[in-house]
Amino acid sequence: MAAFRKNGEQVVFNLPKQQEFAGPEYKRLQIENGHLIASKAGKSPNAEALFGLFNRNGEQIVPFEYSAIYNPYSTFQSGAYFSVEKDGNYGIIDTLGNVIIPPTYKNRLMVRGDYFISKKDDKLGLLDKQNKQLLPNTYDWIDLSEIRTGPDQLMPIFKTRTNGKYGFYVPKTGKIVPPKYDRVEFFNDRQSYRFEDKPVGLIRLENDGKDQLYLLHSDKIIPGDYAKIELQAHHKVILSQENYGAQGVYDLEKEQLIIPIEYNYIRMFNQKHQLIRVEKETENHRTLAGLFDAEGNEVLPISYAHIEQMDDPYFVLKHNENGYALFNAETNTQEPLPFTEMSKDENHWLLTVQKNGKTYLYDYKKQKLLTEGYSLIKPLKNGNYLVAQQEANRLHFGYANAEGKLIVPVTYDSREDDYLQKFENEHYLPLFKKDTATGKMRKGFANLEGKIVVPARFQQVFEEENGNGFLTMLDNSFGIITAEGKELLPPKYDIYLNQRLNVYRETSNFSFPIAFKKDGLWQFMDRNGQLLPIKTREIIDVPK
């Protein structure tokens, strides 16, 4: 079907049949859902126009007997149904012309998939396409949603509301939960979910600040009211009776509580062995930890000061009195570790350990210390480590990579008031060296592999925002060093910049060819260090 105007009048043309619909035979013409809604004048001069329906092939499938035919969908949407009006009442027909809901309702019906929301006396009900009443007209609000019932399967489900309370209806099973909850939440693809196995057939029911979890496939509610319900991997749920109160673990597949609700804190590890760490406060107000497996069986007793997972299958155990041990969940064995302190950053796999007053990097898989002992080792966000050594009254620093290998020697200088953020950089490793002549600190950079790209001999270094290198400064003059470490210009010139220096972030913005001022003239150099045959006394900015 295609619509045109002919002699100022609307014309609809059915292209396959070469069939034209136009006045005076037809009064109104409208294309909806690929079908043609048309009207004809009544038999008497004062009679209202009546509407019929033609399909995509130009065949009449609904006689001219309705006061109106509507598209019940939103703009730019289509579906399998039309809304019809007859003698002031409303009903539903399908796109084949079959009457689905006879026109007996005083209000237009809302179409939701293959279901229809009706309205009587300001109350809503629900019908199916067999015109069967699924929900009586007793609700203030009804709307269609969906719920996950399998790995790649979503099922329609209706949320209902009456007097400010919510319930739901499941068409497939006929299950009706009356509106008595403050909140009803269906778990489907609209929620962000941090585990691969998405929850199946779960509905959260909240009332008076307490949660219940309804299991759709078994028509069960997990017993008890909970202040908090946390979905976890492998079909587990952490239940909390009160905010910051006792916790336990429920297995949705087994439909049973596998860890009783008596622990202060529970952490589930989403890896091969699916171990669960529990923490419990003792009578003397000490917090101890233990491990359970995915079935709820005890793996390690609740007797450790701390348990931290390295990766599957390794865990570091801290004993109250006897230091540390490395637990292998694969072999169910423990290996004592001769360290006084241990820590691990979440973005690094090596352990930072202390022994005999020194700090080391430790490969727990090989059970091997990787570096000599340092006064300080700090993990950086770029994956490397800052390492520092106290010598007399001075703290020197360098850098080690993610494997613990020293890539920048520990020969650079720091101040007493330095803070870790000073050494954080996404692309480079900042370097500082004290000028023996002036006592002032000079700055440079190494790349993340440890190669020196800017020697630490400048008052300031401004990293170029787009990766073009560095603007160096010395005695209020400027130079250029490329990102690869080639010095194109020593710090002796005025440099033309695209934008002002960002002194707070210590960044610059320049591009090649770069303009620099020498002997009163602006000259230009490309990124290879070649001078261009251009000299000028003035550079004029052109507004963008």
- Residues 314, 301 contacting (CB under 8 angstroms): no
List the structure tokens of 465.
């925002």
Residue indicated by tokens 């440079």: 444
- CB-count burial class (<10 Å; 0-12, 13-18, 19+) for 208: exposed
Write phi, then psi, for 63 (nearest 5 degrees): -70, 165
Question: How many angstroms separate the CA atoms of 401 and 419, rounded?
Answer: 20
Q: Which residues pair with 289 in a beta bridge?
A: 279, 304
- Taken as a whole, the chain contains a residue count of 544
Query: What SS3 state is found at 256?
Result: strand
- Residues 210, 196 contacting (CB under 8 angstroms): no
Question: How many angstroms separate the CA atoms of 18 and 57, rounded?
Answer: 10
Write phi, then psi, for 240 (nearest 5 degrees): -125, 125
Q: What is the pLDDT of residues 310-339, one digit of tens each?
A: 887 899 999 877 689 999 999 999 999 989
Sorted by sequence, the CB contacts under 8 Å of residue 464 that are 6+ apart come out as 470, 471, 483, 507, 508, 509, 510
DSSP secondary structure string, 450-478? S-EEEEEEESEEEEETTSS-EEEEETTEE
How do beta strands 314-318 and 306-311 pair? antiparallel
Q: In what order do the strands lie in the sheet with 247-251?
A: 228-231, 236-240, 247-251, 256-263
Sorted by sequence, the CB contacts under 8 Å of residue 212 that are 6+ apart come out as 204, 205, 206, 221, 222, 224, 225, 226
Residue indicated by tokens 């300080």: 376
Question: How many angstroms separate the CA atoms of 507 and 16, rounded?
Answer: 66
Residue indicated by tokens 């009587």: 120
Q: Write the DSSP symbol of residue 421.
A: G
Tens of each residue's pLDDT in the chain, 544 residues: 666 666 667 777 776 666 778 777 888 888 888 899 999 876 666 678 899 999 988 899 999 999 999 999 987 788 999 999 999 999 999 999 999 999 999 999 999 999 999 999 999 999 999 999 999 999 999 999 998 887 778 899 999 999 999 999 999 999 999 999 999 998 765 555 555 566 788 899 999 988 888 999 888 888 888 888 888 888 889 999 877 789 999 998 899 999 999 999 999 987 777 899 999 998 888 999 999 999 999 999 999 999 998 887 899 999 877 689 999 999 999 999 989 888 888 888 899 999 988 999 999 888 888 878 999 999 999 999 999 999 878 889 999 999 999 999 999 999 877 888 899 999 999 999 999 888 899 999 999 999 999 999 999 999 999 999 999 999 999 999 999 999 999 999 999 998 899 999 999 999 999 999 999 999 999 999 999 999 999 988 777 6
Of the candidates 116, 111, 93, 113, which has an alpha carbon nearest to the alpha carbon of residue 103?
93
Sorted by sequence, the CB contacts under 8 Å of residue 26 that are 6+ apart come out as 38, 39, 40
Sorted by sequence, the CB contacts under 8 Å of residue 99 that are 6+ apart come out as 91, 92, 93
Write phi, then psi, for 88 (nearest 5 degrees): 80, 5
Question: Which residue type sits at 435?
Answer: D
Half-sphere exposure of 348 (CA within 13 A, CB side): 25
- In angstroms, the Cα distances linking 160 to 112, 137, 143, 189, 379 are 14, 11, 7, 20, 52
Sorted by sequence, the CB contacts under 8 Å of residue 307 that are 6+ apart come out as 277, 289, 290, 291, 300, 315, 316, 317, 318, 327
User: Which pLDDT value is given to residue 412?
Assistant: 96
Question: Chain centroid to CA 212: how far?
Answer: 26
How do beta strands 460-464 and 507-508 pair? parallel
Q: Write the DSSP symbol of residue 330.
A: T
Of the candidates 252, 220, 227, 232, which has an alpha carbon nearest to the alpha carbon of residue 242?
227
Q: Write the DSSP symbol of residue 106.
A: S
Beta-carbon count within 10 A of 346 CB: 6
Sorted by sequence, the CB contacts under 8 Å of residue 133 that are 6+ apart come out as 125, 126, 127
Mean pLDDT, the chain, as a whole number?
Answer: 90
Question: Chain centroid to CA 335: how far?
Answer: 39
Domain locations along the chain: 1-108, 257-336, 338-458, 462-544
Is the bond leading into 72 cis (omega within 30 degrees of zero)? no
Q: Write the DSSP symbol of residue 226.
A: B
Write phi, then psi, for 420 (nearest 5 degrees): -60, -35
